[in-house]
Amino acid sequence: MTLMLSMVTMVVERMRRHRSGEVSRIGEKIENRGVGNGGIMGDTGKVALVTEGDSGIGRAVCYCFAREGATIAITYVKGQEDKDAADTINIINDAKTKDSKDPIAIPTDLGFDANCKSVVDQVVGKYGCIDILVNNAAEQYMCRTVEDIDEKWLDRVFRTNIYSYFFLTR
């Protein structure tokens, strides 16, 4: 877990420096370890579905997989994250290898079984399979006390953070 978090931190920093045009010693370390050459993860030719891949850790994971040669599909919340999803698709396109196919972004609410099945059907229909599933979607609401938790919020948290993981994995 620590290795993955350090790698994600390095990748996020690399992405920031890449955008600003800075030379990155962190990026050099990543490249020396084999990222982008089928090195660390060996994902060349694999298909990855990353839920909520439009920002944060999900985006960093997409970047890593794209550099490794994986074909990427992401999900995002339509209306709230449209621009983030488009930005992530651009980042994936810039980072992907010649072996990977064009990425897709699927807007959906993962809290429902039918929507999860639709996502799987779309990815398998386009790429033929899903080799890697990154259950990254999460929803949270801030409250001062337990008494302040709204039942609708609790339902959304369980639907997104627990049910969707089950629906997609099975």
CB contact set of 7 (below 8 Å; sequence gap of 6+): 40, 64
What's the CA gap between 78 and 9, in Å, rounded? 27
Is 15 a residue whose pLDDT tops 60? Answer: no
Element of type H or E holding 10: helix 2-20
Q: 127 with 103: CB under 8 angstroms?
A: no
Is 161 a residue whose pLDDT tops 90? Answer: yes
pLDDT digit string, tens, across residues 101-155: 999 999 999 999 999 999 999 999 999 999 999 999 999 888 888 888 889 999 9
Task: Please state the pTM of the whole predicted model.
Answer: 0.75
What's the CA gap between 43 and 49, in Å, rounded? 13
User: What pLDDT sits at residue 81?
Assistant: 86
CB contact set of 76 (below 8 Å; sequence gap of 6+): 52, 53, 54, 82, 84, 85, 105, 106, 107, 108
Structural domains of the chain in order of their starting residue, each with its CATH number: 43-169 (3.40.50.720)
Q: 71 with 89: CB under 8 angstroms?
A: no
